[in-house]
Structure 1
Amino acid sequence: MASFDNPWAMVFLPDGRMLVTEKPGKLWLVTQVGVKTQVTGVPAVFFGGQLGLQDVALAPDFATSGQIYLSYAEPATGGQRLAVARATLSIAGAPALTNLAVVWRAQPTTTGGQLGARMAFSPDGFLYVATGERQQGTPAQDLSGTLGKIVRLNLDGTTPAGNPFATTAGARAEIWTLGHRNPYGLVFASDGRLFESEMGPAGGDEFNLIAAGRNYGWPNVSEGDNYDGSRIPRHSTNTAYTAPLVSWTPVIAPGGMIQYRGTRFSGWTGDFILAGLAQQGIVRVRVSGSTAAEAARIGLGNRIREVEEGPDGAIWALEDGDGGRLLRLDPA
């Protein structure tokens, strides 16, 4: 099977092939037997630490438009910023991106940390982007910027009507929720609800149900503590903050996330599957109404960055790091 240089995300195309991103800035078209072809026309990215080329997603009308979205660390004066670009993918010959344009940028520009960078399309046709707070804490509570937020956008990157902070003085109109640390999972469930997973500090990884205007508390509250051992108040100490449905201490360090829609894995339909970096495998979470709980863990022996469901219901995973392998998972 194929291996990659620091892979980060993947998405299946209608023909069964997949697109895979590498943080250093390459995009690959990959067959299910592991044949790789590089896609040209990818934007220049800043690669370092946790930053680089990150998520890839198909536009809701991909079948007719051929458009895809990329999220990545864009070099900028004063550091880097999360950028989301839209482009047309051509795979009729040598695979290439054309008509690439940046549709949205996170603010402000800064250095280091994590971008978040996950994208998801809602059933009613909006683009949601999860952004990290770049390991700076307080920006997650600052409505004048988009770090540590989930934003809701039109497909062209403009701000739709009806966002919860659109009339709040000094707030960025695209903000949907705030108080996030390092969100690496963002999924619309089959029932239309939005779920998110994020890394906590020393403990306190989270699986959240996302609702418009909610504040998820970081860095004022957490189910984990600071790396120096000092305690952070828990969500239960302040009802202004929305607590996670599930939290993990010790951490699993969640990467990508899906809701499993297939039937190949009996009894898993509707469950959420999270890539586990620290856990070195996958974690299955079952949601029941407004509650959720971990259902199972499967160790894979390596840090897992990304998961996706294949056309036949198999689960595909990407290992983290240099030489990270593409894995196909089937029931035992």
Structure 2
Amino acid sequence: MSARLALAGVLLALLPLAEAGLKPTVDHRHTVETVATGLEHPWSLAFLPDGRMLVTERPGRLRLIDRQGKAGPPVAGVPAVYASGQGGLLDVALDPAFAQNRLLYLSYAEAGENGLAGTAVARARLAENGAQASLQQLKVIFRQQPKTPGGNHFGSRLAFAPDGRLFVTLGERQQRDHAQKLDMTLGKVIRIEPDGAIPADNPFRSKAGALPQIWSYGHRNPQAAAINPASGKLWTVEHGARGGDEVNIPLAGKNYGWPIITYGRDYTGFKIGEGTAKAGMEQPIYYWDPSIAPSGMAFYTGDRYPGWHGSLLVGALKDQMLVRLSLDGERIVAEERLLTDLKQRIRDVRQGPDGWVYLLTDEDDGKVLRVRGR
């Protein structure tokens, strides 16, 4: 392949699909079923081995939902949260050995002194006594440094790698320049052991002046993260400003550019940073302009929907839809916009143990929805 053709392929991969001339895949019809209601701004969903669900509500509640969609009382022992703006109780993830140890992980906005806040991660054991569930032996295993003012850009997705290490995505708390600083964890992806210890092979563990938890940096507000089952690599989707939502595959020690390079503009309409590319900074594998406000993602590995196996599913808040991205290895080759008539902010996307796709809607009366193919 000539250098010119190779460069053309790179540029095609970076263009929004409409600009690249790619057509959406066939639009399948779907039936959307309501599984559970009455949830206040649900943020994350995790399936237990027996098919029940754990759902976080941003004001600070964790609920068990049975297989019939009935939500139990709030789980006791949840840590106090900073429930302001985008902050509150955020992601929930099960330990890879949950069936044996009953451990789960929560990310949340934690209050500090003088009105400051930052993302934190806690680990606890889920205990059940009849209808009442509780968290036991809770331990905070990570706190974002430093805590800052404001209620936005906490990031906060959790993803366990195949080696058992835990990735945590962290927003820059609207402190843009801090995303480039290695002595703080704003605008970073971090990688820790399940107990919060630092892996020996983390990229900045031996770098003077850098925090050893950092895996990658230069991120804005990644509210979606998942491990690609085909490669075992972490993928993230993060909010841009006015445009510039990005799909990234964060690699160890790499700089993803925010706020120096971006495909978005400030909400005022003014330029951010220096442009869209710079030596030493990574490009997204895909971006949206205008922004769809992505939150929540899942790689689909089932066979319930024709042609979906291996797709990446992404929820959209502002554009109120489910996006399906078709992949060719680490390239995104087509986009399909689904459920646009639902008119619901999609906060989280999960594949259920039954092979159907489940969604959370970010509303005062939030819902768990199941998407059935036809």
SS at structure 2 position matched to 1:123:
coil
In structure 1, C-alpha distance between the alignment counterparts of 2:121 and 2:80, rounded to whole Å:
12
Quick check: 2:300–2:311 contact (8 Å CA) kept in 1?
yes
Structure 1 ranges of 4+ moved more than 2 A: 232-237
> Aligned-pair RMSD on alpha carbons?
1.3
Aligned partner (choices 269, 285, 297) of residue 245 of structure 1: 285
In structure 2, C-alpha distance between the alignment counterparts of 1:11 and 1:235, rounded to whole Å:
39
* TM-score, normalisation: structure 2: 0.86
Write out per-residue CA displacement over residues 8-55 of structure 1, whole angstroms, 9 at most, x where no aligned residue: 101000000000000100000012332001211111111010000000
In structure 2, C-alpha distance between the alignment counterparts of 1:293 and 1:12, rounded to whole Å:
30
In structure 2, C-alpha distance between the alignment counterparts of 1:110 and 1:168, rounded to whole Å:
25
- How many Å apart are 1:294 and its aligned residue? 4.1
In structure 2, C-alpha distance between the alignment counterparts of 1:103 and 1:194, rounded to whole Å:
20
- How many Å apart are 1:164 and its aligned residue? 0.8
Aligned partner (choices 21, 39, 64) of residue 75 of structure 2: 39
1:272 alignment counterpart: 312
2:87 counterpart of 1:48: no
1:186 alignment counterpart: 225
Aligned partner (choices 99, 103, 108) of residue 146 of structure 2: 108
Q: Residue 108 of structure 1 aligns to which amino acid in structure 2?
A: P
2:124 alignment counterpart: 87
Q: How does 1:1-332 map to 2 (within 5 A)?
A: 1-37=36-72, 38-78=74-114, 79-91=116-128, 93=130, 94-112=132-150, 113-190=152-229, 191-232=231-272, 236-298=276-338, 299=340, 300-332=342-374
Q: Residue 64 of structure 1 aligns to which amino acid in structure 2?
A: Q
- Which structure has the highest strand share of the two? 1
Q: Residue 246 of structure 2 aligns to which amino acid in structure 1?
A: E
In structure 1, C-alpha distance between the alignment counterparts of 2:128 and 2:212, rounded to whole Å:
36
In structure 2, C-alpha distance between the alignment counterparts of 1:154 and 1:285, rounded to whole Å:
31
Give the structure with higher Rg (CA).
2
In structure 2, C-alpha distance between the alignment counterparts of 1:29 and 1:294, rounded to whole Å:
36
In structure 2, C-alpha distance between the alignment counterparts of 1:24 and 1:125, rounded to whole Å:
29
Q: Residue 267 of structure 1 aligns to which amino acid in structure 2?
A: G
SS at structure 2 position matched to 1:322:
coil
Q: Go from structure 1 to structure 2 and tell me whether the alpha carbon gap of 1:242 and 1:234 turns closer, same or farther (over 3 Å shift).
A: farther
- The worse-fitting range, judged by mean Cα deviation, of 280-289 and 305-314 is 280-289
SS at structure 2 position matched to 1:2:
strand
In structure 2, C-alpha distance between the alignment counterparts of 1:249 and 1:271, rounded to whole Å:
21
Quick check: 1:270–1:286 contact (8 Å CA) kept in 2?
yes
Write out per-residue CA displacement over residues 262-282 of structure 1, whole angstroms, 9 at most, x where no aligned residue: 111121111111111012011
Task: Count the aligned residue pairs.
Answer: 332
In structure 1, C-alpha distance between the alignment counterparts of 2:207 and 2:326, rounded to whole Å:
36
Q: Go from structure 1 to structure 2 and tell me whether the alpha carbon gap of 1:208 and 1:234 turns closer, same or farther (over 3 Å shift).
A: farther
SS at structure 1 position matched to 2:269:
coil
For CA contacts below 8 A with separation 6 or more, give which structure has more relative contact order: 2
